[in-house]
Amino acid sequence: MQDWNVIVIGAGAAGLMCAIEAGKRGRKVLVLDHATKLCEKIRISGGGRCNFTNIHTTPSDFISGNKHFPKSALARYTPNDFLDLMAKHKIKYHEKTLGQLFCDNSAQEIIDMLLSECRDARVEIKNPVSVQNIRRLAPKSGPENFSLESSIGTLTCSSLVIATGGLSIPKIGATDFGHCIAKQFNIPMTPIRPGLVPLTLNQEDKDFCKTLSGISQECIASVKKQSFKENLLFTHRGLSGPAILQISSYLEPGKTLTIDLLPAQNIETELTAEENKKKSLTNVLAPFLSKRFAQEWVERKAQNRTPADLGSNKLRAIAEGIHKWSITPAGNEGYAKAEVTLGGVNTKDLSSTTMESKTRPGLFFIGEVVDVTGHLGGFNFQWAWASGHAAGQAV
């Protein structure tokens, strides 16, 4: 039997940040992970360069059943706090676009930094370790609140932190462990589904996208009042690219999204311009949409005639089709391709300052397992750092 002040299950972004902060406070901390290789999500993130934060982070960049919940943790651990840590470890980074910060070299530098901070804070990390059973101990049996049956024996602790993340990319170790623990302790969950995920289409739309596969187009993708102006990517399976990933988190199954394929242009003005009347429709559209795109669009939506032949009603309908392309996806590519899991442990049960369960004192949930999901662009790691930091001050 080994006694610890704090046991963290999950040695990912949130778990390691929590362990570091708790260790620095002199707590005796053990981190357990079932994976053979630690921090795989950090390693593969941002195309191997880890988009580790976003300098423009605000609470409105997060989706949660309670939009106020992330405020406290985000205010107490900001992107600048993480940049201070990067500076301490002399890790170079750059802004790619829209406040998104990436390592100049490799995501491995972030992993090395976290593991080095763990060593300095005397945090012990053990992996691969599986946890089979968790029990809450009766208060009279001592200060240890929880007993864990694991592949390295029985462990006890006063604070137990669940940092096992979401369900995306099961092949690198994602599990529903955190969700199961919430259920075991009667902690409510909000419905979960893949987020930041490519969309799949019905056969007709899919055939169209297939012909355009590889083309990227700036657009505004919208669902209700939410919209994102970023690039869309046509793929042989459907639609992807940052605009689509972003809007996927707001798109409920079976609902329709609208795409403005030419946000910087009023294409109706071009279609009805005197100098364009005798040109083929493809040639009028080609300077704005790529030639291949213009050809396919015209073939699908209108005959390739001249604007003069088509008449104003038809031209208006073509313009509307480009500015308000309505798509009802068949579904999405699921957890195998999703960057995040939407939903999770219901924030109603958690303290927003400490991430501790209100109904199960001593039990904490941090990172992606909680019903807080960031937009694309470094926000999910910022939530992992901030929620891990918040719990690290309290465990």
Cα–Cα dist 178/161, whole Å: 10
Q: Segment near ligand FDA (CB under 6 A), from 203-211, 246-254, 271-279, 374-382? A: 374-382
44 in contact with ligand FDA (CB under 6 A): yes
Closest CA to 316 of 355, 266, 276, 380: 266
Which of 199, 340, 363, 391 contacts ligand FDA by CB under 6 A? 340
Q: Segment near ligand FDA (CB under 6 A), from 72-80, 157-165, 288-296, 313-321? A: 157-165
Cα–Cα dist 321/308, whole Å: 19
Residues 6+ apart with CB under 8 A from 351: 358
Cα–Cα dist 364/391, whole Å: 7
62 in contact with ligand FDA (CB under 6 A): no
343 in contact with ligand FDA (CB under 6 A): no
339 in contact with ligand FDA (CB under 6 A): yes
**Cβ nearer to ligand FDA, comparing 270 with 339:** 339
78 in contact with ligand FDA (CB under 6 A): no
Which of 6, 7, 8, 11 contacts ligand FDA by CB under 6 A? 11
Encode burial over 187-210: b for 16+ CB neighbours within 10 A, e otherwise. bebbebbbbbbbbbbeeebbebbe
378 in contact with ligand FDA (CB under 6 A): yes
Neighbours of 324 (CB within 10 A): 12
35 in contact with ligand FDA (CB under 6 A): yes
Residues 6+ apart with CB under 8 A from 356: 350, 362, 363, 364, 391, 394
Please state the closest distance from residue 246 (CB atom) to ligand FDA, in A. Answer: 13
In terms of DSSP H, where are the helices of the chain? 13-24, 40-44, 71-76, 79-88, 108-120, 177-184, 203-211, 242-248, 267-272, 281-285, 291-301, 307-310, 312-323, 379-392
Residue 268: φ, ψ to 5°: -65, -35
**Cβ nearer to ligand FDA, comparing 72 with 280:** 72
Give the distance, in angstroms, between the CA of residue 385 and the centroid of all CA atoms in the same chain. 14
173 in contact with ligand FDA (CB under 6 A): yes
**Cβ nearer to ligand FDA, comparing 242 with 367:** 367
Q: How many residues bind ligand FDA (CB under 6 A)?
A: 35
9 in contact with ligand FDA (CB under 6 A): yes
**Cβ nearer to ligand FDA, comparing 272 with 380:** 380
51 in contact with ligand FDA (CB under 6 A): yes
Per-residue string for binding with ligand FDA, 102-141, x by CB under 6 A? -----------------------------x----------
**Cβ nearer to ligand FDA, comparing 128 with 321:** 128
340 and 364 in contact (C-beta within 8 Å)? no
Residues 6+ apart with CB under 8 A from 299: none
Which of 381, 385, 390, 392 contacts ligand FDA by CB under 6 A? 381
Q: Segment near ligand FDA (CB under 6 A), from 67-75, 161-169, 295-303, 344-352? A: 161-169
Which residue in the shown chain puts its C-beta closest to ligand FDA? 12
77 in contact with ligand FDA (CB under 6 A): no
**Cβ nearer to ligand FDA, comparing 234 with 365:** 365
Length of the chain: 395
Distance in Å from the first CA to the final CA of the chain: 21
Which of 14, 29, 63, 219 contacts ligand FDA by CB under 6 A? 14
- The sign of the dihedral angle between the CA atoms of 301, 305, 309, 312 is positive
Which of 8, 13, 345, 390 contacts ligand FDA by CB under 6 A? 13
Question: What residues make contact with ligand FDA under the rule CB under 6 A?
Answer: 9-15, 32-35, 41, 44-46, 50-51, 131, 163-165, 168-169, 173, 175, 177, 339-340, 367-368, 378-381, 384
